[in-house]
Structure 1
């Protein structure tokens, strides 16, 4: 599955209607964002069961501010409607793969490790 451009009007519905959502907050002028883009895109193709969204912070300033984004790129992971991971900085492919595996394995059920971070 390719990445999805996400805007403020779609954000809430996207994170509540999907089990696991990765959100890349980025900007066109950001060098590290351009470096991370292909890594993120490749991961989206390798994990079609996960929604990989991208939010352009310049086009969605209010959303970026509401999400507490202070640097780009910032990766946010939402599982079952809860933010379970948020980190600024471009990840290497191997680190992103690790974060994806941890997020998929994270159990937020009452019997699981509720509140655990995917870090």
Structure 2
């Protein structure tokens, strides 16, 4: 799957995310967040090297349950999953390498 460029207006339930099979990346952030915008080129490059990843781009904020269930405090936070279980996390990434290393932990 290719990288999503738009934040989802509605979030999936935690049960839906936990039920995902295979590798997945859940990106928490907001479209107006400067850190989120700055991370997009590195994220796109890292995901281009991992075409088997599902990418969920979730708009986070006050009252959003999914982000709270993962303890999200800073944006962007990338939660890397394998079969619905967290295997890696990257907070405010600045380089493709740190994202690629996290993705590699779930790609196997």
- Please classify the TM superposition score into its range, dividing by the shorter chain length: 0.7 to 0.9
Residues 1:16 and 2:19 are matched in the alignment: yes
Gaps of 5+ in 1: 106-119
- Residues 86 and 101 (structure 1 numbering): CA distance in 2 closer, same or farther, change over 3 Å? closer
SS in 1 for 2:35: helix
Q: TM-score, normalised by structure 1?
A: 0.71
Gaps of 5+ in 2: none
> When the two structures are aligned, how many residues end up with a matched partner?
105
Relative CO higher for 1 or 2, CA cutoff 8 Å, sep ≥ 6? Answer: 2
Residues 1:54 and 2:45 are matched in the alignment: no
SS in 2 for 1:17: coil
CA distance in structure 1 between the partners assigned to 2:39 and 2:63 by the alignment: 19
1:2 alignment counterpart: 2
Residues 1:40 and 2:43 are matched in the alignment: yes
Say if 1:15 and 1:21, in contact at 8 Å, map to a contact too.
no
- Residues 17 and 56 (structure 1 numbering): CA distance in 2 closer, same or farther, change over 3 Å? same
Bigger CA radius of gyration: 1
Alignment RMSD, CA only? 2.4
Q: TM-score, normalised by structure 2?
A: 0.77
Shift of 1:21: 0.7
Equivalent residue in structure 2 for 1:93, among 88, 93, 96:
96
Deviations for 1:81-112, whole angstroms, at most 9, x for unmatched residues? 2111223212401222222223323xxxxxxx
